[in-house]
Amino acid sequence: MARPRTRRLAVHLYGKRVGSLAKQDADRFRLTYTEEAVERHRSGTMLSVSLPFREQRYPSAQTRPFFEGLLPEGPGRATIAKRFGVSVSNGFGLLERLGADCAGAVVISAEESEPLAEPGEVEWLTEDELAQRIEELPANPLGVKGPDGHVRLSLAGVQEKLVVARAPDGRIGEPLDGAPSTHILKPGDLRYPGLVENEAFCLRVAREAGIPVATAEVIRVAGVPRLLIERFDRVHADGRVYRIHQEDACQALGILPSEKYEAEGGPSLAHVIGLLRDHSGANVARDINALLALTVLNVVLGNSDAHGKNVSLLHPADGGSQLAPAYDLVATNVYAGLNCELAMSVGGAATPDAVSADSWRSLASEADLGSQILRLVREHAERVVDGARRAKEASHDEGWHHPVIDEIVTSATQRAARIVKG
């Protein structure tokens, strides 16, 4: 029997229904908030900065950037779409099938059903089973199995990853039927030697430099290094896992994932700084400084892929917004053949090696950062170099060092020296 055509999906935030998505066609759908949600959230947690609660419905052009931003991108999306028998452009159909566990505290379900009061369980895996799931990722992106496979979840991005749950005792498993995931497991990529260690190192440098960052560790699965990253939009409490709402800068600014790079219409650093200035409230000075520190780190380490979907806002249940911890940090410039152009330019400078004192001054002018920009940038650069030294030592001490780390440190030291000398 043919599957009945779904015309509406219910949107839930922090366990309460806040609206519905009405399908117009495969890639067009509009959002209407419930009356209760509009009244309840006149102040407090928002679904998206780009979609403030209101009585009038949002047309597709305004609705799609946030909801498309919940879905996988690239080849992974195409594979998942084929597995579920929908077209790759059918965002509505993918949300219907993958919306049980999204980024943040959003849950999307068929309109006639409610999210389970007690979400699905976790299938705990042996090491061999986990290794098999990793091997199956090209056919099952994120761990999505298909129409009858129980695993239903969505996470944006292109890089191959397995979305998992990790128990306090260290067991790793697959969340089933809407159970919240807690970690992301990245297997690396044979095309880019040492990618796991590269990202682990960059995340460690950020932490050593005092930048709020996602917690990660290198684990071995069947003898192969993998990167296990703790989700900052999940928290353990009272023996349960709770979701914390978040959205990336593209979603918050109403920009489609396909336009995440500044050169393709995506956000600039000035746009993201303006976003923080408008929505970070009492946290604004701290958040803007953290973003500046993160930008310096990306320049020094040679991370050219820090685009608008790699910066996020947290929207806690008790209201307010703040910059989320840093994530997806990779020194991309160490790999020959990858584009070295910065996803978000620094004062007009297009590559990390082209960033100069004048670039930082231009950024300060664009984003109204003040006359102390060079002093702050130099301080951040020195912290990054010191952090790189400590992170390199840790990679040896903890047994996950890779020669790519030595290359990153060499080039980072040179870039930082140019910044410090001005």
Instruction: Give catalytic residue positions.
Output: 305
Q: Domain count of the chain?
A: 3
Cβ atoms 311, 272 nearer than 8 A: yes
34 and 161 belong to one structural domain: no
- How do residues 312-357 score in pLDDT, each as one tens digit? 999 998 888 999 999 999 999 999 988 899 999 999 999 999 999 9
Distance CA 242, CA 230 (A): 13
344 and 249 belong to one structural domain: yes
What confidence score (pLDDT) does residue 213 get? Answer: 97
Secondary structure class of 25 (helix, strand, coil): strand
What confidence score (pLDDT) does residue 116 get? Answer: 52
What confidence score (pLDDT) does residue 239 get? Answer: 79
Secondary structure class of 226 (helix, strand, coil): strand
User: Who has greater pLDDT, 250 or 79?
Assistant: 250
**Amino acid (one-letter) located at 138:** P
Q: Is residue 238 part of a domain?
A: no
Distance CA 53, CA 146 (A): 34
Residue that is last in its domain, among 110, 137, 165:
110
Distance CA 26, CA 87 (A): 8
Q: Is residue 76 part of a domain?
A: yes
Cβ atoms 237, 98 nearer than 8 A: no
Residue 150: pLDDT above 50?
no
295 and 320 belong to one structural domain: yes
Residue that is last in its domain, among 230, 265, 288:
230
294 and 362 belong to one structural domain: yes
- At 2, is the pLDDT very low, low, confident or very high (cuts 50, 70, 90)? very low
Residue 362: pLDDT above 50?
yes
106 and 209 belong to one structural domain: no
One-character DSSP codes across 234-292: EEEETTEEEE-EEEEHHHHTT--GGG-SGGGT---HHHHHHHHHHH-GGGHHHHHHHHH
What confidence score (pLDDT) does residue 6 get? Answer: 59
Rounded to the nearest 5°, which phi and psi values hold at 298? -60, -40
What confidence score (pLDDT) does residue 170 get? Answer: 92
The range of the structural domain enclosing residue 211 comes to: 122-230
Average pLDDT, the chain: 90
255 and 379 belong to one structural domain: yes
- At 81, is the pLDDT very low, low, confident or very high (cuts 50, 70, 90)? confident
Residue 154: pLDDT above 70?
no
254 and 212 belong to one structural domain: no
- How do residues 261-315 score in pLDDT, each as one tens digit? 999 999 999 999 999 999 998 889 999 999 999 999 999 999 999 999 999 999 9
47 and 148 belong to one structural domain: no
Residue that is last in its domain, among 110, 145, 168:
110
- At 111, is the pLDDT very low, low, confident or very high (cuts 50, 70, 90)? confident
Token pair listed for 177: 């039927």
- At 92, is the pLDDT very low, low, confident or very high (cuts 50, 70, 90)? very high
- At 359, is the pLDDT very low, low, confident or very high (cuts 50, 70, 90)? very high
**CATH no. for residue 308?**
1.10.1070
**CATH no. for residue 128?**
3.30.200
Residue 39: pLDDT above 90?
no
What confidence score (pLDDT) does residue 157 get? Answer: 58
255 and 158 belong to one structural domain: no
Lowest-pLDDT range, 18-32, 108-122, 402-416? 108-122
One-character DSSP codes across 368-419: T--TTHHHHHHHHHHHHHHHHHHHHHHHHHTT---HHHHHHHHHHHHHHHHH
Residue 112: pLDDT above 90?
no
Q: Is residue 66 part of a domain?
A: yes
